[in-house]
Structure 1
């Protein structure tokens, strides 16, 4: 019975009601809004001259404002063609390509509707129970969560948030008092029975998020714990007759189609991300229910938008989830539907980004999404080198396998051409980079047996005196001229043109300030701009008020305007943008270089010469990035970076890691 009901729901989800109804009516194109999934026509159930029959293709429901007929695709087909239920299911299954379960006809028990209605009723009662407990709860953890993460009473009401008390049977006792039997309460998934036969509430001491289907029915719950000792941070309802996690989307019932077609649906990872975006007015967002996106969910998302933008967290798990989604979508894409990705700054989720940099920053990132091609290419090539024929052959084999997954022939050919151009560029870069590297470093020598020479065989457990005074052995102190210049330039640029905060949010999130005074000013700028967008004068007034001094005068007194005239307050936005881009590129490259050299120092004892050679190649790459800025050259920094590279090359040439006692033996 459960399998049959799940199949019927799957059929409803897959069938486009607009396509079914469109075979019987002519749409009123002036009144219809296809981008929002809304269609109007003259009613097929009664005679009329003005279109009063409305189809909501997103929710899969129709309603006539004249004769009040309403229903879904199954109801419509039964009434317009006088079919029984089973015949209707057969017709729709045939049109959609779904296979009807073998025991479907024998499972049409008339009691199944009552069971479903009872489960829906139980969920409505449970949500009201949890909402009342949230209003009555005054615990600090609950109040802090609502204040810091939710924000407004309106959002709490919009999402019907509640709170599950700690009592083991609080909800069960409440539902039992409403004269519901234990079995139906347990079958609904709201409560469970342990090995000893004891019944308990499934959700306890958790903020409750109702999960509502496209028919506006509460079919399941999600719960977020407020306890640090809980085994699972998030908990969902189990699979039931009315709840299938992989077929639902959180917030689909509240989804507001964008006003303009090019403003796409945003898909985020979880409940809190949806609420965070809704908090700043981005209502066109949905989320899977704590799992990787399934093909069923992707089909639902495509009904909302033909090119949705996925904004997953900027961490390793988010990258993996995006890669899985990309490969899942390949057999399903067409010229009319695809996926895109909004890459968030490292370590940030949508809530973090909006809280720190504001709504405009996220919108800026959403306006420049990655294509499916770019998502796959980055996943296949990021952090890898292609200097050898074997490396390149491996990539080509992988790309060929990916192309085979694209079922649309025309699309597969275009992807193949695009991959070819990317490979040609990548392989060319790898050859040039390797040639440049070989000219700047000395390769280790091998003996006749093919083994590494004695000079690299013995590595010290402790660095020698020379190593301690070298770049690898020294600490990075915040007293270098170029670091001070960079950080001052960043702060001055943001003060002169606060809009740059939005444009460079991703890069700004990567940098580490070495000077405490500049770090404080920077943090104050970000904090003030997050509260509301400010003009230069407004921002400076607030900064001066917070610090008790003339901040701008202090910054320009260091003489940076003489070095870089584009830091002047009268410089244009484009000039300031060019300068900041150059400074951030150099600073991030230098940070990467320092980290690479630090990693080399830490791992030098265990790694062989090939690994060390690769490390040097990375350092050279960072140097290349740092020197590639095209706005205002900084010869001082260029010299410093070149000295860093020369230093690490000298470390190999001078054999500083060879054990001291080994050298002594050689001298004897």
Structure 2
């Protein structure tokens, strides 16, 4: 149904946006001013501690200044509850007391037809349920017991059994007055091409109803009980009710748990999803065995900004993951991506649940890799890059993939990340044959240079090194604060050189092929780059480095406890403030030394004003440092409590 703009405006006018959004968030009392229609809260679309999500009731518009999410009443419901636009309009019209126009006759016929098919599917679901608990369902019940599915789970998911006969369901529905043509249209019967009688699609199978976003039965999945039966799993065909490419199994149950957890798990099969759900992980959906479509990707993102997709660890699972990468890349957008969990070879989610329980499964999903890393490993792992031509071929294959990303901001971020990884890879590969000379023509022993830095040699060494690491690991922070970072002058020459080369790679050399410029970068650039690249690996600090300063997660240990992106950015800005203040103090000292005793009144006043500004900013930094430290302790405590809860 098409809705006239006047109708949508009427709904917006009658229903304050804050009322719609307020069902999902808690308003910040300090910043919110209801009398002005001005509301602030922590964003429901990404994790944050400081409210950056703003609702303007006067304009009927929301915007998050952290992740960029924005929209109106209808978009908020489609993004947070997984509703289609017409469903969102219908729901809000009901809440606002606005009457919807009657559909045109053709649409009304289509709706009645779909309603009729839904009624038939519901009748079939009840028939299958009854058969499961009857005499003919004994083998099916035995199979489900072997799968360790509890009675409560069977009832919740409405498991059933299709008898091993040609027309058991057909006869049952016919007795209820259902026409044969309707049964065929609903996907319940198969009509042979040779003119023979229709027969039941599902026979001698355990049946799992497939439900719509609102819990309505629209199709079925059947698992054969015949050891030699093929196919092992059989789904309903495409019907006016059921479109595999736009549906996710269990979406209607997972929506609220996913919102509360801030995460979603995606399995390849619905029985795996049911097993994960039974283990208490309720934010799980399944893809119905199809290659991901843009509709499914959008639905997953309505559940969580970075869903975790589970793949088997064998070659088939890796191939499926690679196909998913190709499907997902074009649809990527700011703040939204996927993580890939490769399960131990030969095991699926149900196997992990049976052997290791909930914690065993969660331990594997905790190892999930970001999409960018899966793409990188697919193209670069084991690649022969011994010649310039092979280096160029690898670079081209990666750039061709990145070029499919439609979102310009995401595409540029991927390009920078890949340029850093390629630079590091090419540098490492060529170290054995390099003549040891840097771009200044002087010989360099990179290992020896690295070992020279044994511990902090300046008051700001730790902060500078942390900023370098954060710039490299969180490229979005680097890009957002690029101009500010470029203006800074680091005390430590190694850090200053790294910062300068990183800015040069991102700006001046943006259009240059990495294969042609990686050796022009200062060799010391790779010291910190290597350190950050290896940061997630477990092990001892590299020889020659002070143990407290080798790796980013050792210097900023809160990173080991999965803090929110908002907290990381506030830490990053705090470190930049600290370095800028240090730079201001150095400038003030230089002014005093230069002036000596011949200081005039104007210079004296300027220096005194600088001193007051330094004192003010130092006090502000101290206060904020205390706040961040307290928040970091709370993050650690919450992480520890969650670990104890899982262990218990």
Q: For each residue in 1:359-379, what CA deviation from the matched residue of structure 2 results, as whole angstroms up to 9, or x when unmatched?
A: 213223333421121111011
Question: Which one of the candidate residues 115, 118, 137 is aligned to 2:116?
Answer: 118
Instruction: Say if 1:330 and 1:135 are closer, same or farther in 2 by CA, change over 3 A.
Output: same
Offset, 1:271 = 0.8
Q: In 2 relative to 1, CA 19–376 (structure 1 residues): closer, same or farther, beyond 3 Å?
A: farther
Which residue is 2:420 aligned to? 421
Q: Give how far 1:75 is off.
A: 6.6
Partner of 2:302: 303
Matches within 5 A, 1:350-389: 350-389=349-388
**CA displacement 1:105-136 (0-9 Å, x = unmatched):** 7x816433332222111111101111111111
Equivalent position SS for 2:326: helix
CA deviation after TM superposition for structure 1 residue 429, in Å = 3.5
1:189 maps to 187
Post-superposition Cα deviations, 1:530-572, rounded to whole Å, max 9, x if no partner, equal: xxxxxxxxxxxxxxxxxxxxxxxxxxxxxxxxxxxxxxxxxxx
SS for the counterpart of 1:331 is: helix
Aligned to 1:151: 149
Question: 1:202 Cα shift?
Answer: 0.4
* Aligned 1:9-28 pairs, distance under 5 A: 24-28=15-19
Matched residue SS, 2:234: strand
Contact 1:269 1:313 in 2 (8 A): no
Closer/same/farther in 2, CA of residues 58 and 389 from structure 1, 3 Å limit: same
Question: Which residue is equivalent to 1:96?
Answer: none
* Counterpart residue number, 1:32: 24
- What are the within-5 Å matches in structure 2 for residues 452-601 of structure 1? none
SS in 1 for 2:133: helix
1:262, CA displacement in angstroms?
5.8
Q: What are the superposed Cα offsets for residues 45-103 of structure 1, whole Å, 9 maximum, x if unpaired?
A: xxxxxxxxx979525399xxxxxxx96425756987766456xxxxxxxxxxxxxxxxx
Count matched residues. Answer: 387
Q: 1:188 to 1:414 in 2, by over 3 A?
A: same
| Counterparts in 2 of 1:139 and 1:433: CA distance versus 1, 3 Å | farther
- Aligned partner of 2:324 in structure 1 is 325
Say if 1:209 and 1:223, in contact at 8 Å, map to a contact too: yes
1:186: Cα distance to partner? 1.2
Q: CA 1:404/1:20 → structure 2, altered by over 3 Å: closer, same or farther? A: farther
What is the match of residue 173 of structure 2? 175
User: Residue 345 of structure 2 aligns with which residue?
Assistant: 346
Q: Distance in 1 between matches of 2:153 and 2:282?
A: 12
Asked if structure 1 preserves the Cα contact closer than 8 Å seen for 2:24 and 2:44, the reply is: no
SS at match of 2:230: coil
Q: Is the 8 A contact 2:258 2:264 kept in 1?
A: no
> Partner of 2:211 in structure 1?
212
Cα distance change on mapping 1:302 and 1:372 into 2, 3 Å: same
Residues 387 and 434 of structure 1 are in contact (CA less than 8 Å); yes or no, is this contact kept in structure 2? no
CA contact (8 A) 2:264 2:304 kept: yes
Q: Distance in 1 between matches of 2:152 and 2:110?
A: 37
Conserved in 1, the CA contact under 8 Å of 2:190 and 2:201? yes
Q: Deviations over 1:141-160 (max 9, x none)?
A: 42332112142101101110
Shift of 1:430: 3.2
Change (3 A) 1:404 1:224: same
Residues 347 and 181 (structure 1), Cα distance of their counterparts in 2 relative to 1, 3 Å cut: same
Corresponding residue of 1:225: 224
Q: Name the counterpart of 1:252.
A: 251
CA contact (8 A) 2:162 2:203 kept: yes
Contact 1:129 1:171 in 2 (8 A): yes
Mapping of residues 612-651 of structure 1, within 5 Å: none
CA distance in structure 1 between the partners assigned to 2:167 and 2:133 by the alignment: 20
The 3 A distance-change label for structure 1 pair 60 and 41 is farther
Distance 1:20 1:380 in 2: 50
TM-score, length of structure 1 as denominator length: 0.53
Distance 1:404 1:131, change over 3 A: same
Match of 2:510? none
Matched, 1:73 2:89: yes
Secondary structure of 2:153's partner? Answer: helix
Contact 2:118 2:217 in 1 (8 A): yes
Specify which of 65, 72, 83 is matched with residue 60 of structure 1: 83
Cα distance change, pair 168–630 in 1 and its aligned pair in 2 (3 A): same
Helix, strand or coil for the counterpart of 1:249? coil
CA deviation string 1:155-201 (max 9, x = no partner):
10111010100010000000000011111111111112112331100
Q: Does structure 2 retain, via aligned residues, the 8 Å contact 1:131–1:162?
A: yes
Provide the TM-score with structure 2 as the length reference: 0.54
| Secondary structure of the structure 2 residue equivalent to 1:423 | helix
Shift of 1:390: 2.5
Following the alignment from structure 1 to structure 2, what is the Cα–Cα distance between the partners of residues 328 and 23?
41
Per the alignment, do residues 204 and 343 of structure 1 end up closer, same or farther by CA in structure 2, a change over 3 Å counting?
same
Residue segments in structure 2 that go unaligned for 5+ positions in a row: 26-42, 47-54, 58-75, 435-537, 542-648
Flag the 1:387–1:393 CA change in 2: closer, same or farther, 3 A. Answer: same
Question: How far apart, CA to CA, are the structure 2 residues paired with 1:138 and 1:41?
Answer: 60
Comparing 26-35 with 293-302, which one deviates more in the overlay?
A: 26-35
Could you list the runs of 5+ residues in structure 1 that have no partner in the other structure? 1-7, 43-53, 63-69, 87-104, 436-627, 632-668
* Cα distance change of structure 1 residues 81 and 114 upon mapping to structure 2, 3 Å threshold: closer
Could you say if the C-alpha distance between residues 412 and 629 of structure 1 is closer, same or farther in structure 2, counting changes exceeding 3 Å?
Answer: closer
CA distance in 1, matches of 2:9, 2:430: 55
CA contact (8 A) 2:317 2:342 kept: no
Alignment of 1:422-437 (within 5 A): 422-431=421-430
